[in-house]
Structure formats: structure tokens, C-alpha cells
Amino acid sequence: MLVTLDLNSRQTARVLAEAVHIRAMLEIEPRPDAFSDLLWGTLSGRGQDGLYVELHERGPDIDLAGLVGAMCDVRMILARQLYLFATFVVDSVPQTAPQRLVIEVPQTIQVANRRRFARQAPLEPVPVRITVPAVANTFVGILANINPTGLACRLSGRELDEVLFIGDQAQLEFALPWSAELYTLPAVACTKSRSRQEEELMVGFEFAGTADEASLKKLRQSLRDQAARLVEEG
């Protein structure tokens, strides 16, 4: 299942800066009325007029001048994470080698996650203490679901929403109902969404690669051993 989330302006700027820094590969799909095939290119820079893309293996049948003004969907991968955005072609530079396109800087970028494991929800409330570096307060949420690679929890209020952003680090502390084991694990925020009433925030975390492997092994074994105590797989 593919889940997408709109990044805010700060997150969008950070993703674009990183993409330019590493010369990210872009997959550009012009809307069907402009051109029916995909274009591939390297994001080579950013200027006042847009993002500069050096095209790879451009076919001779492509009329770059005809793409100016065309809407397009763009996909790129940074740190194994898929990002999506819609934009349009501002200009083309067909006389250079490689040939180039200039695309408008997107106002919004979406981050996408494909879930690899079934999520399981506990039968009883499980508090999750969330500590964000450089923030004095500790936030407490209620575990919504958990799997071997991460968890999601619900929180009320807007405080955490204002200090924790997609890609930020946090430390999670929780104990599962059937176990005396207290887990303290570093994690990275990967999704955020609000309820319709905007009174509740759902935050998804992925356990970080810096997590203690022994603790992660115990957690995963505990989830397997006590699967009968968990419901709502999906």
C-alpha cells in the first residue's frame, strides 16, 4: 500500500536542497497531451528561473521546445525514500550536451512510503514517551500500531506538530502490555497526519539504524511470540 504525505514549506526546501546537493536522478513524466514517454535526468542546480535538469538518453524524436509550458509529474529517491511532485517545464536548452530542461520549483512535495509489514494494534492502551532533541518537553502518545520496523502513535494537541518534522530524529520509550521489558529506541519520523477535527495527530516512526540491535531483536521476538494478543492486522 502506497501512503503519501504533503511536506510543509520548510521540509520541501530541505528536500530540494539535498536533491541539488547530491545531483538526484529525476524521472519526469510529461502529461499525455505533451509527450507519452518518460524522461530521465540529473538535477544539476537551482536558479531564479527554476530547477536545472540534465537529460539522459534523450530520443531524437522528442521536441524539447514543444515541452515548454507542459505540466509534468516528477519522481525522485533520496535516502531510499520516494518523493513526488507536480510542476511544469519553464524552458528547454536543446543545443547543449547533455540537453537540459528548466522546471518550475514545486510549492509542495509529497513523501511516499510503501509498507513492508502488517501493522498490529494492541488491545489495551500503550503509552509511548517521545523525546525530541533540543526540546525540553517530553510528549506522550498512545500506540496505534506497531510492526518490526516501526510504530505509529496518536497524540492530542499541536505541540509536537510544531517541533517534529518528517525526517527528524526522536527517542521512543514504551513497554508492551504482556512484557516487563522497557524499550528505548531511536527513531525517525516518517509520516504525520491530522484527524478531521485537527485535535489529534497521528505520527509514524521508523526505528533508526542506530538502534541497539539486541533491543530490536527482543522487540521483534516479543511481537512474534505474543501475536495472539494483537488484533487489527492490516
What DSSP letter does each residue of 155-177 carry, written as one string? Answer: EESSHHHHH--TT-EEEEEEE-T
Q: What is the pLDDT of residues 10-39, one digit of tens each?
A: 888 889 999 999 999 998 888 766 566 678
- What pLDDT, on the 0 to 100 scale, is given for residue 233? 39
**pLDDT on residue 226:** 60
Residue-level pLDDT at 102: 94
Given the C-alpha cell 516501526, which residue does it identify? 150
pLDDT of residue 131: 94
| 128 pLDDT higher than 80 | yes
How far apart are alpha carbons 25 and 108 in whole angstroms? 18
The backbone region for 79, taken as left when phi is positive above 0, alpha when psi lies in -120 to 50, beta otherwise, is left
Q: What pTM does this model have?
A: 0.49
Q: Whose CA is closest to 132, among 89, 79, 189? A: 189
Using pLDDT thresholds of 50, 70 and 90, give the confidence band for residue 176.
confident
CA separation for the pair 67, 27 (Å, rounded)? 15
Domains in the chain, ordered, with CATH?
A: 2-114 (2.30.110.10), 121-231 (2.40.10.220)
**C-alpha cell, 42:** 540529473
Report pLDDT digits (tens) over 179-229.
778 999 999 888 777 765 557 888 889 888 666 778 888 887 777 766 544
The predicted-structure confidence for 73-109, as pLDDT tens digits, reads as follows 898 888 777 889 999 999 988 777 788 899 999 988 9
- Give the pLDDT score at 33: 63
Contact between 129 and 139 (Cβ < 8 Å)? yes
Mean pLDDT of 148-175: 85
CA dihedral defined by 51, 57, 62, 64, rounded to 10 degrees?
Answer: 20
pLDDT of residue 101: 92
**pLDDT at position 162:** 81
Per the DSSP assignment, residues forming a β-bridge with 7 are none
Distance of CA 146 to the CA centre of its chain: 18
